[in-house]
A = this chain, B = another copy of it.
Amino acid sequence: MERSPVRVDAEALHEFVVRVFEKMNVPSEDAETAADVLVQADLRGVDSHGVARLGKYYVAGLQMGIMNPRPEIKLVKETPATALIDGGGGLGMVVGAKAMNYCIRKAKQSGAAFVSVRNSNHFGVAAYYAMMALPQDMVGISLTQANARVVPTFGRQPMLGTNPISVAVPTREERPFVLDMATSVVARGKLEVAAREKRPIPLGWALDKVGNPTTDAREAMESRANLPLGGLTETGGHKGYGLALVVDILSGILSGWGPGATIKGLKVGHFFGALRVDGFRPVDEFKEMMDDMIRAIRASPKAPGQDRIYIHGEIEFEAEEENKKKGIPLHPEVIDSLREIAGSLQIAFDL
């Protein structure tokens, strides 16, 4: 029988995750950052990218020496509006937040800035870093490579990651626009769910091992051959393939870390950007026009059977409000995995 999620207090969860990272020799300040990124994902309902991965991705990465708890993060090169940062093999969340902070600092000076990052690791949700630009009245951009599980159009071997794109844009009274999308049709999580429930997947999500479109979720899991956004060619799959390449070029080639097909495990490059709104026009006028646009789209006529049009980020902001009040709903299996981590690291477990 399926067990129901249990609501866990966000602050208590945050404290627990900090203790885990500290125990793994991560300095307190960095442990706070890493916990922030993971718990914010859970708060915003993106539970695929939250504490469910604490053990499997990050504790394991630190234990195996793949991730460095005390990395030497180095500025390799810069101009007024660009920089290359070497992450020293650190936790992606720590490297990512530091790189985006540096990017924002540079954008304050120059109006806009872009930072490419090499030698980092899986950084959790891309939106976290793009959203760091919002309180500064900047447009934030965050991209990252991931290991290969997407095929190029007409190919059958995964050569690209799900390479997400996140863009965050400030608003006045409306909630900020926060896009955070894989450049594949669907993320791996949706295949996992369909495979578990033995449901067929729509044609155009993935190929089988031979390279034919499949509706069998388990075949799709095995082949790792996800289709890029747009699916097959007649529905524009070459466009998602192109976007995945752009992410790979900015995160992997501009940083010198290498293309997606050469990525080992969680060791990836990232790319961050920040643009000052007032580098173009007055912030107040911009935000007012954002609000107007959002309201006009939301108020536009709905398709049959639909009663609401969403703006990107809206569902996550609503989840965050609810989960802050009621606690974060964690699957019992996730709670078990956290208890296990606590046991193996010999730290208190009080969730």
Contact = CB atoms under 8 A, between A and B. Distances in A.
Interface of A: 76-84, 107, 109-114, 116, 139, 151-157, 159, 165, 167, 169, 177, 179, 181-183, 185-186, 202, 204-205, 207, 210-212, 229-231, 234-236, 238-243, 245-246, 248-250, 253-256, 258-259, 261, 275-277, 279-281, 285-286, 289-290, 292-293, 296-297, 300-304, 306, 308-312
A275 to B, nearest CB: 6
Contact of A308 (B154, B248, B312): B154
A41 B249 CA distance: 25
A280 B84 contact: yes
A309 B230 contact: no
B114 A309 contact: no
A154 B309 contact: yes
Nearest to A242: B179
Nearest to A286: B253
Contact of A110 (B80, B230, B256, B285): B80
A256 B284 CA distance: 11
Contacts of A229: 229-230, 236, 239-240
B281 A255 contact: yes
A61 B79 CA distance: 42
A344 B296 CA distance: 42
A235 B205 contact: yes
Contacts of A111: 78-82
A211 to B, nearest CB: 4
A294 to B, nearest CB: 9
Contacts of A308: 154
A269 to B, nearest CB: 11
A322 to B, nearest CB: 21
B81 A300 contact: no
Given A159-B296, A159-B297, A302-B155, A280 B242 contact: no
Given A82-B275, A112-B81, A154-B303, A256 B281 contact: yes
Nearest to A225: B303
> Interface SS of chain A: helix, strand, loop or mixed?
mixed
18 contacts: A79-B110, A80-B110, A81-B107, A82-B275, A82-B276, A84-B280, A112-B114, A116-B280, A154-B310, A155-B301, A167-B242, A229-B229, A256-B281, A256-B285, A259-B289, A259-B296, A261-B293, A261-B296
A194 B230 CA distance: 19
A156 B303 contact: yes
Q: Which of A76, A81, A255, A290 has the most CB atoms of chain B within a 10 A radius of its CB?
A: A81
A185 B281 CA distance: 32
Contacts of A276: 79, 82
A289 to B, nearest CB: 5
A258 B26 CA distance: 47
A166 to B, nearest CB: 10
Given A153-B309, A281-B256, A303 B207 contact: yes
Contacts of A235: 185, 202, 204-205, 231, 235
Nearest to A246: B167
